[in-house]
Amino acid sequence: MKVRTRFAPSPTGYLHVGGARTALFNWLFARKHGGEFVLRVEDTDEARNTDEAKQAIFDGMSWLGMDWDEGPGKGGDCGPYFQSERKEIYDKWFDTLADAGRVYEDDGAWRFKFERKPVTMNDMVCGEVTIDYRDESNTPDMVVKRSDGSYVFHFVNVVDDLEMGVTHVIRGEDHLMNTPKHLQLFEAFGVEPPRYAHIPLILNEDGSKMSKRDEGAAVGDYPKKGFLPEGVVNFIALLGWNPKTEEEVFSMAELIERFSLEHVNRAPGRFDFEKCKWVNQQHLAKLTDEEFAAAAKPFVVAAGLEPGADYPAVAGAVREKVRLLSEVPDAVDFLLKDEISYDPETVEKVRGNDVAKGVMSGLGGVFAEISEWSADAAKEALGVLAKEAGSKPGKLMFPLRVALSGKGGGPDLGVILELLGKEKCAQRVGKFAEML
């Protein structure tokens, strides 16, 4: 039996990180088992569904790298893949229930007759769960068709899974109590139900339910903030799934290899946006300088900076220093601009150092006289002046960094000296000495 999973979002807003996590677990499970992943759209709520929301879902999943085998834009043998286009299919299965005497009219609507017995499901994450349908006061027969002729979620969800040959349904724990209803429908249709796995909810760090307004909730915001899709996928995978090792950084291929429903936690996942940035940083560090420079370039250009011929080396200098691509412009601006600004608080730290002031006043001229410029030659010159001033070169590295970059941190000082070159280094040190 070929594994078939599905993701069935409702296009009433952007792709939420919780929905993306559900899609990811279904996608990983299908890929792990050599199966197929289906995307279908639950768009029967005409008042709330929008074309923009549909596109946001498609764009978000594509950006994350979760390609679907069947669905909108791909086609397949089980279409249409929009619920709004499947009414004839639903009518056919409703007639099957009617012919079997399993539905009856109630104030214009139609209810499905539950069999009055305990229903036990063996969930692949939550274990055995039983709902007792013998007490009709707790489990009234459910409406499957409204008085306006439209069908409810429970009915169309089951019909779609049946028609599309879905073998495994991986969805949020908030649907757990719906599953016995769905099992009764599958039984009434005379077909084997899929296997179910209900994954834990995602909560904020403080334990509150994650809302659409919380930072990190909208997948569409991640590219704008400078995340890599690989980093976001890695982070989302860890929200409720545990690889059972100390490792936390995985490529997509590694996630496919490692993923299993047995390692999905019962406890809710805790969303930590700072952790997400850390995971992203680990993926940025794995890129080559050329790959990193290309990924960061749109942010650099948008900041009004001009990437020159040495831009890959400039970007590469901060590759392991930033967590987000959006941080790159601020990290490299002093390497791409002729005129730089100085952080006042950092300058004050140097201003109180009389030795640094004395050395800086002469260092610009010494730099200008170096015949063959290199970071080693520049540091050697600094060492000579430091010795003359009765100090150690190490104590003057920070003042030189501030003089060249205007910042207290950043790339290795040797890299800065090489990238800026003799003329800029001499000019900036001289200007900084005047400021002091």
Task: Give me the count of residues in the chain.
Answer: 436
Distance CA 76, CA 39 (A): 10
Strands 109-112, 103-106: pairing is: antiparallel
212 has catalytic annotation: yes
Distance CA 241, CA 224 (A): 26
Return phi, psi of residue 246, to 5°.
-80, -10
Distance CA 34, CA 264 (A): 20
Nearest to 314 by CA among 424, 223, 231: 424
Distance CA 241, CA 289 (A): 32
Nearest to 98 by CA among 113, 83, 116: 113
Residues 6+ apart with CB under 8 A from 135: none
Which residues are bridge partners to 120 per DSSP?
130
Distance CA 402, CA 373 (A): 20
Among 212, 224, 337, 392, which one carries the catalytic annotation?
Answer: 212
433: Cα separation from own chain's centroid: 46
Contact 185, 155 (CB under 8 A): yes
Contact 317, 419 (CB under 8 A): yes
Active site residues: 212
